[in-house]
Amino acid sequence: MKRAFGVLLFLSLLFATGTPASAQSGSEYFAQTGHFVSGDFLAYYRSAPNAEVLFGYPITEAFTKNGQTIQYFQRARFELHPELPAGQRVQRAPLGSRLYQRGDRLETFNPFACRYFARTGFSVCYAFLDFFKKNGGEAQFGQPISPFEFHNGLIVQYFEYARFEWKPSMPENQRVALTDLGSQYFTDQKEDANLLAAVKNGGSNVQPLKIQARAFVWKAVTLASDNQIVYVIVQDQNMQPLKGAQGSATVRWPDNTTSVFPIVTNESGVGIVSFNFTNQPYGQTVIIDIFLTKDGLAASAVTSFRIWY
């Protein structure tokens, strides 16, 4: 009974959503994320070349915080300053500067393949420089505020308004990508998660752009012969539950054997796997790898538990 109550409480908190904002006249609806952009924000968005690349799609409606109107996008945060002249009223938060944390530096410089910025003391080089120049340069990204650095296995470089990532496994013209700093900053600022809820637009459906999975076990510690339940939660880019994601949970036992169990998520985006086991060695950790797909998108997660006695 306690287990059921705990799971229900967890899920009720996880999937709580607020009241959707109403559609505004003269707005543009983005089915990819289920949000509107309107007014000065829309004019600013559409004035940029490759806005979907530079800013991403909106992840909230416009809302007021501390007396200021703001709106989050995947890679930007727009802020409205109505006291400024027309054409200057929308400004972007310098998310690169606000989120930068120093990583392991990668020293590389070629005067023939780099551009140096005296104000910040850093250079932009090679494919990053090509991407920088092609997509608006300093006007869009600001100046570099770091050298090449390693972050979580990626070569990256921070700018005042962006972070570039190097992805060598991608096709040649897609190897430089922008980090979703808008989404990161939304989380960093502990904004109300209800703001991410998609807004209905007639018959439009939100198109999943990515899926993400989380997993946890019923028992963190078990007996050598016991039973276990694995809960898997699958959500889209707006943290909305995804029904019908399919995949597997692969249990890796201490003797290097594996057991594979199918997973399908329900209306709440939750998949549940239960299994029994016997005579597992004391003190060992059992790893569970989760892999799921939905509409051509994939997500993975890992959880574990320990055999105690």
The number of folded domains in the chain is 2
> Would you place residue 9 in the very low, low, confident or very high pLDDT band (cuts 50, 70, 90)?
very low
CATH code for the domain in which residue 236 is found: 2.60.40.1930
> Would you place residue 204 in the very low, low, confident or very high pLDDT band (cuts 50, 70, 90)?
low
What is the tens place of the pLDDT at every residue in 58-113?
A: 999 999 999 899 999 999 999 999 888 888 999 999 999 999 999 888 877 677 88
CB 268 within 8 A of CB 15: yes
Rounded CA-CA distance 153/33 in Å is 28
CA distances from 60 to 12, 34, 148 (A): 21, 9, 31
Residue at 3 is within a domain: no
Domain boundary among 164, 179, 194: 179
Both 220 and 276 in a single domain?
yes
Residue at 216 is within a domain: yes
Both 170 and 116 in a single domain?
yes
Domain boundary among 126, 161, 179: 179
Other beta carbons less than 10 A from residue 262's beta carbon = 10
Both 220 and 279 in a single domain?
yes
Residue carrying the six token digits 């998949």: 271
Percent of the chain at pLDDT above 90? 67
Which pLDDT score, from 0 to 100, does residue 260 have?
A: 96
Range of the domain at 159: 106-179
Both 222 and 295 in a single domain?
yes
Residue carrying the six token digits 């496994």: 169
What is the tens place of the pLDDT at every residue in 247-290?
A: 999 999 999 999 999 999 998 899 999 999 999 999 999 999 99
Q: What angle do CA 136, 137, 142 make, to 5 degrees?
A: 115
Both 164 and 236 in a single domain?
no
What is the tens place of the pLDDT at every residue in 220-241?
A: 999 999 999 999 999 887 778 8
